[in-house]
Amino acid sequence: MPSKSTVETRDRIIDQSLTWTSHIDEQPVQDTVPTRLSTSDAFEICVSIKYDLFYINSFPYPERATIRQEQVDFCILQFKDIILQLVHQNRSPFIHHDSYIDRPPAAYQDLLGISAMYYQKTPQNQTITFSMLDSRISSLIRSSKSSMWSTKDYLLGVQAMIIYQIIRLFDGDIRQRANAEAQFGILETWTSKLNSTNNVYYNESDTESPYQRWIFIESARRTVTMSVMVQAIYSILKDGFCTSVPQMTMLPVTVNGALWAASEDAWWETTFGLGGELVTYQDFLLQWNGGQALYAGTYESILLGACKHNVRPPPLMLL
C-alpha cells in the first residue's frame, strides 16, 4: 500500500476530478462502414517507423507518475471486462475476432478454457480454477523455452499472459498476486521480443492478404500497449505510482479505432487495403482533449482513462 504522503502527493498533482462509471453494451462485429478516411489520409501500416518501446530517450515527463483512484478503478473494471468479451465474443481490445477462427492454436484454446472457467468461479471451484491457471501458464512458459517461437507465437504468448496476469493481479488470492508479480519479467521479455520482431514478420508475410497483415500488425500494437498498461496500472495500485509514462507517450495508436470491430468488407471499403492512420498515444490524447470526434471503444477508453491529462471522460457505452 502506498504511504499517506504518496497518496497525498498523488491527489495534489491531479487537478481534474474525474469520476467515471462503465456499462458494457457489447455489440456484434459491425458490417457498417466506419468513418471514411480520404485516400491521402489512409496510409500503409508504417512499418518503416520504429516504435522502440524499450529504448527510452529523454522526454519531459516525470520519472514517477500517478492518477486518481477513480481512474485506477475504471481501468481495472475494463481489464476484467476484457475476459468477458473474450468468452462471449471470441475477441478483445487486443485479440482480433478473425485472428484464431481457423485451427485455433492449443495456447489459444487453453486461454479460452481458463477464461471461461474463471467466469464460472465459485468458492467451491476456486482452487481447481487457479490450479488449472498455474498449469497453463507453466505450459506456456515451457513452450517458449523448448521451441523457437515465431513472431505469431510471441503475439499469442503475450496476449495470453496479459489475460492471465489480469486474473491473478486483480481478482486472485495473495499467492496468485505474488506469482504474477514474479512473472512480470517474463511478460516484459516476451513483449520486447514481439515489439522487435513484428516488422520482420510483416515484411516476410507476402503470401497473406493486406487485411490479414493488418490484423497481425494492429494486434501486435495493441498487445504491446496493453502489456505496458496492465503493468502500469498495477504499479499505481500497489505502489501509488508508475515509471512508464515516457514509454507510453510514444505508443502508436490507430486513429480510426472502428476498423478493429469492422468486418473485412467494411475494412476494405474504408481503407482501400492501406490500413489506418497512426498517431502517438500522446497525440491521440491531444486530439481527444481538443474535441475531435474520435472512436472510443474499450481499448481507447482504457487509454483515455489511464491518463491524468485527459479532460474528457471516456464514453459509457464501450465496444
Instruction: Name the residue among 182, 188, 193 with its Cα closest to residue 227.
Output: 188
Q: Is the pTM here over 0.75, yes or no?
A: yes
| pLDDT score at 73 | 94
- Percentages of the chain per state (helix, strand, coil), in multiples of 5: 55, 5, 40
pLDDT one digit per residue (tens) for the chain, 319 residues: 555 444 443 333 223 333 333 333 334 444 433 443 333 333 333 333 333 443 334 345 566 888 999 999 999 999 999 999 999 999 999 999 999 998 999 999 999 999 999 999 999 999 999 999 999 999 999 999 987 899 999 999 999 999 999 999 998 789 999 999 999 999 999 999 999 876 655 555 566 889 999 999 999 999 999 999 999 999 999 999 998 888 888 899 999 999 999 999 999 999 888 888 899 999 998 898 888 878 888 999 999 999 887 777 776 534 3
Burial label for 150, CB within 10 Å (0-12, 13-18, 19+), is exposed
Any idea which residue has 504474477 for its cell? Answer: 180
Predicted local confidence at residue 205, as pLDDT:
57
* Alpha-carbon span 90 to 174, nearest angstrom: 29
Q: What is the DSSP string of 160-193?
A: HHHHHHHHHHHHS-HHHHHHHHHTHHHHHHHHHH
Cell numbers linked to 209: 492478404
Pairing of strands 252-254, 278-280: antiparallel
pLDDT for the residue numbered 28: 42
